[in-house]
Structure formats: C-alpha cells, structure tokens
Amino acid sequence: YKYTIVDKDTCIACGACGLTAPEVFEYDEEGIAQVLLDNNQGTSVIPDDLIDDVLDAYEGCPSDSIHISDTAFHGSPASGQ
Ligand code: F3S
C-alpha cells in the first residue's frame, strides 16, 4: 500500500499536481496543495487506479513537496519511510 502527503511548507503553489492527479490533490485558498483523500494527513491508502497519477505528480513537482511512502504519514511529511 502507498500513502501520500504534501509538505505544505515547501509547496510553491505551482499548480501541477492538481492537473496531473485531480482525484488526489486539491488546493487550499492560498493555492497550496493538499491531499484530498484524507485532508492531507497521509493516512489513506492511495487507490490502485490513482497510483500512476500520484507517481507522475511526485516526479513533476518542482519543489519535491509530494511525499510517497509505504507507511502512513499521520500528518507529518517527515514521518514516512
Ligand atoms: Fe505544490 Fe508541487 Fe503541487 S509545488 S502545487 S505540491 S506540484
């Protein structure tokens, strides 16, 4: 299983991830990305049919703010393995 979270401290609101994976990433009122699956807690397993989109978004993020892990993040981008 894979989990994802956005580090909102490093996201530069470039807007790419929501175009690449609109079913996973949305933006707050300042344009900073967040995971819509779990309110950016990194606790929801990414559905199988969305993993490719998440990987594309991960690779395309210019500030490396999208984190992916085999374990849940529990709200902290630094907590994944
Ligand atoms: Fe932010 Fe990266 Fe998305 S900079 S808007 S998390 S592509």
Q: What is the ipTM of this complex?
A: 0.98
Q: At 45, is the pLDDT very low, low, confident or very high (cuts 50, 70, 90)? A: very high
DSSP secondary structure letters along 39-55: TT-S-SPPPGGGHHHHH
Structure tokens at 52: 């490719």
Rounded Cα distance between 66 and 78, Å, is 11
Nearest-CA residue for ligand 1 atom 2 is: 61
Please check whether residue 14 is in contact with residue 63, taking contact to mean a CB–CB distance below 8 angstroms. yes
Please tell me the distance from the alpha carbon of residue 45 to that of residue 38, in angstroms, as a whole number.
9
Distance 40 CA to ligand 1 centre (A): 13
- pLDDT (tens digit per residue) in 51-74: 999 999 999 999 999 999 999 999
For residue 78, the model assigns a pLDDT of 87
> CA dihedral in degrees (10, 67, 51, 61; nearest 10)?
30
Is residue 80 scored above 80 in pLDDT?
no
Question: Does 81 have pLDDT greater than 60?
Answer: no
In angstroms, the CA 67 to CA 73 distance is 9
